[in-house]
Amino acid sequence: MSFLSATLSRVKPSPTMAITAKAGELRAQGRDVIGLSAGEPDFDTPQNIKHAAIAAITAGHTRYTPVDGIPKLKEAVVAKMKRDHGLDYTTAQVSVGSGGKQTLYNALMATLNPGDEVIIPAPYWVSYPDMVLLAGGEPVVVEATLENRYKLTAEQLEAAITPKTKWFIFNSPSNPTGAGYSHDELKALTDVLMRHPHVWVMSDDMYEHLAYDGFEFCTPAQVEPGLYDRTLTCNGVSKAYAMTGWRIGYAAGPEVLIGAMRKIQSQSTSNPCSVSQWAAVEALMGTQDYLAPNARIFRRRRDLVVSMLNQIDGVECPTPEGAFYVYPSIAGLIGKTTSKGTVIDSDETFATALLEEAEVAVVFGAAFGLSPNFRVSYAASDEALREACTRIQVFCKALK
Ligand SMILES: Cc1ncc(COP(=O)(O)O)c(C=O)c1O
């Protein structure tokens, strides 16, 4: 009998973390690797948020809190949902967890039975399919193509729904493509969902505030109020407020689901860090003034990376609406050989050769369910991005 669980054999470790580790190894050997693989802003957490955390420690907010969040943070989430999306929730409809990842995982753990299907548009955030598998469900991956700018069409969604579908996971702006759905594009999907009342919607709005060129963010429960009773609107402070290490995420939805998520959390991790919760109150309720300047910086970096990558023959890089990722296709490079003799037969070979031969770390597309592509995270300085893109250009030009 195996010591490790059968469930474990269904999942794989996060490939993004594996690439970051490999880049770290090369750096430790003294190699000058530029890392464009990590999914976190390179900004520091704003001062007002740090001060709120220090004040919380001084005030003694260092004990256990209610399992799924302090009342003040739940009130802040309720206010944020109203302010930003016009959505009405009560504090009993809010769950706070240790990062967006935990709230999504709790929701899947609380609802999936063997055989339940979860529709996941690809390219997807690496954790969705594996979280579904850990929770005992079946991921149903539907590929959104480059031709449709990595967005799922209503026809594709309609065709993927079966009587066993429990959830549709929606992520806009997206990790890994940066694609953001306009109101009309999202409405086309919510119209489909209105015809299938057994399907619930898990909207992952983590990159809400990272949107450019006047893109207007919208979330399913806002676009189609008819879905309110079966939508879990998920978000967090990690990306917008540069708080990845603080581990606070939250979700709002029907009370019965929030209660089920609380039960899972109560028997696994209990409350998220008390100090981080107070910091998150300040993030949501304090000044939002730095969001727009940060978005302008990211937009400039996006434009730099897109234009440099599109100068390469064989690479096609659409300009995404948001997040801090681009997802170029390398269809035109497959079959070529690097100057060191490596045949590029997949995006994984491409990313490995790029790291070893050109010292740039990116994540290969297969990790996100759509190939042949790679993901660039442009949460890095302009100089690092310029140098990395120059190295990618030189590497690709040398391919025979
Ligand atoms: C789409 C998406 N959702 C959720 C998360 C999880 O964020 P957190 O760090 O708050 O757990 C991430 C982090 O990379 C993400 O990219």
- Segment 270-281, tens digit of pLDDT: 999 999 999 999
pLDDT of 108 reads 98
Distance 51 CA to ligand 1 centre (A): 24
Atom of ligand 1 nearest to the CA of 40: 14
pLDDT-derived band of residue 70, with 50, 70 and 90 as boundaries?
A: very high
- Averaged over 13-29, what is the pLDDT? 84
CATH of the domain spanning 62-285, picked from 3.20.20.10, 3.30.160.270, 3.40.50.1220, 3.40.640.10: 3.40.640.10
Q: What is the pLDDT of residues 132-155, one digit of tens each?
A: 999 999 999 999 999 999 999 999
Q: What is the pLDDT of residues 289-333, one digit of tens each?
A: 999 999 999 999 999 999 999 999 999 999 999 999 999 999 999
Distance 280 CA to ligand 1 centre (A): 16
The pTM (predicted TM-score) of the whole model is 0.97
pLDDT of 14 reads 75
Residue nearest to atom 7 of ligand 1 (CA): 100
Please give all residues whose beta carbon lies within 6 A of any atom in ligand 1, as ranges: 39, 99-101, 125, 171, 175, 204, 206, 236, 238, 244, 249
**Closest C-alpha among 99, 67, 64, 92 to residue 78:** 92
Atom of ligand 1 nearest to the CA of 248: 10
pLDDT of 21 reads 83
Which CATH code is given to the segment(s) 8-44+290-397?
3.90.1150.10
- Averaged over 344-373, what is the pLDDT? 96
Q: Where are the domains of the chain?
A: 8-44+290-397, 62-285
Q: Check pLDDT > 80 for residue 386.
A: yes
pLDDT of 12 reads 81
Atom of ligand 1 nearest to the CA of 207: 1
Best residue among 16, 98, 125 to mutate for probing ligand 1, ranked by most atoms within 8 Å of CB:
125
Q: Check pLDDT > 80 for residue 17.
A: no
